[in-house]
A and B are shown apart, each in its own frame.
Chain A
């Protein structure tokens, strides 16, 4: 029988892989990152094929509008009759492209666990309570400055079965569209100074420390509202070319 995989095993694997990368700049995680065991059979082994077509469909992208969201969607604390349990927070920021230009009128979707670290999903069956007043799904469109804003509660950490005593640091899942399909991003926002960062193979799959820091929101006292909520700021920079880049001769 294979002995159960321990945190020390995973820590060792992560350390080895980080050492191999040795401070090299990398914006995204490699798709093959074995400490996150689910990645082993789910990444391509052949190199990706580079596409350089100026007419590529992917340089354009889906559009969204006022019919796709309702005003209440950005407040995850108001989707049920009662108030959810937990620490009320606001998360705000801007969605920008690589040139720092705002990504306007695009869809931002979020989902998260409740304050106890439980998702309302049949496959999340760990013994933490569901909250009848919290689903944990939100969406909004970015404004003309690329801004988004959500009111929610701070999600809890939760256990998962990657290895023995594996816990995910608290995070909010984000799904973001840019002007082009190539700019599509699904990621996770973390909270500052979480003691679980070092143990988490999903966050540590981003091998460049500077890039990992870009996944961590900043607590911003001026965004906190007296007697009401704590404020976090997190800006998102989308990778990938858009048609406008091609027009500019890039």
Chain B
């Protein structure tokens, strides 16, 4: 069957798609948690304040089965009450703030990378990229000057910086799965 075309997420998704705790995959008191943060930039080098990032990853053992409950709801009020912190859902969703910045609090994926899906006003079809934390055979296959766009920069214990450049000299490597 022929696929339904993509259309931009537009500027007004903010009251619909983001949810409280969307970037908190791991409870703050979970030992071994990591924080990944950064900015999304456009081709002029300006931060993008209306991008939406989604994250999907394995747990620290490499397990990719995930778990429901990322948007767990209160059956009384219907409000999002967030993950219960017992299962690792593997899924996160974070809108960039007015500075074009995001932060993700999660656990180190057992297989080396976090998959990222980028949506934004002006982006007619989402983009995929990956956050790597070290060497990987996939990275070895990329041109040397572009490889580093997929590698998070370790800042201090447990903190990593990962910026996304939609266009320009530092343009991030984006992926196609066919």
Contacts and interface: CB of A to CB of B under 8 A. Distances in A.
A27 B3 contact: yes
Interface stretch (B29-37, B155-163, B168-176): B168-176
A42 B3 contact: no
A123 B11 contact: yes
A215 B124 contact: no
Contact of B174 (A29, A49, A59, A60): A49
Interface size class of B (residues with CB under 8 A): 35 or more
Given A27-B2, A62-B70, A111 B7 contact: no
B66 A28 contact: no
Contact of A111 (B17, B65, B78): B17
B167 A202 contact: no
Interface stretch (A11-19, A83-91, A179-187, A218-226): A179-187
A212 B119 CA distance: 20
A241 B42 contact: no
Interface stretch (A2-10, A93-101, A191-199): A93-101
Contacts of A72: 78
Contact of A45 (B16, B42, B146, B171): B171
A19 to B, nearest CB: 19
Contacts of B7: 29, 173, 186-188, 202-203, 205-206, 215
Interface centre among A57, A111, A136 (most CB of B within 10 A): A57
A238 interface: yes
A240 interface: yes
Contacts of A40: 43, 122
Contact of B1 (A31, A62, A100, A139): A100
B26 interface: no
A166 interface: no
Contact of A187 (B4, B75, B78, B90): B4
A51 B3 contact: no
Interface residues of A, number: 85
A249 interface: no
Contact of A42 (B13, B58, B122, B176): B122
Contact of B3 (A31, A48, A135, A239): A239
B10 A49 contact: no
A60 B172 CA distance: 23
A10 to B, nearest CB: 15
A23 to B, nearest CB: 15
Contacts of A232: none
Contact of A29 (B90, B109, B124, B173): B124
B9 interface: yes
Interface of A: 27-31, 33, 36, 38-46, 48-53, 55-70, 72-73, 79, 96-100, 107, 109-111, 113, 119-121, 123-124, 135-137, 139, 173, 175, 181-182, 184-188, 202-203, 205-206, 210-212, 214-215, 235-241
Closest 6 interchain pairs by CB?
A: A65-B68, A38-B122, A111-B16, A62-B91, A239-B3, A42-B122
20 contacts: A27-B2, A27-B4, A27-B5, A29-B5, A44-B172, A46-B146, A51-B177, A61-B66, A65-B68, A68-B69, A69-B71, A70-B78, A121-B12, A123-B12, A136-B16, A137-B15, A181-B117, A182-B177, A188-B10, A211-B2
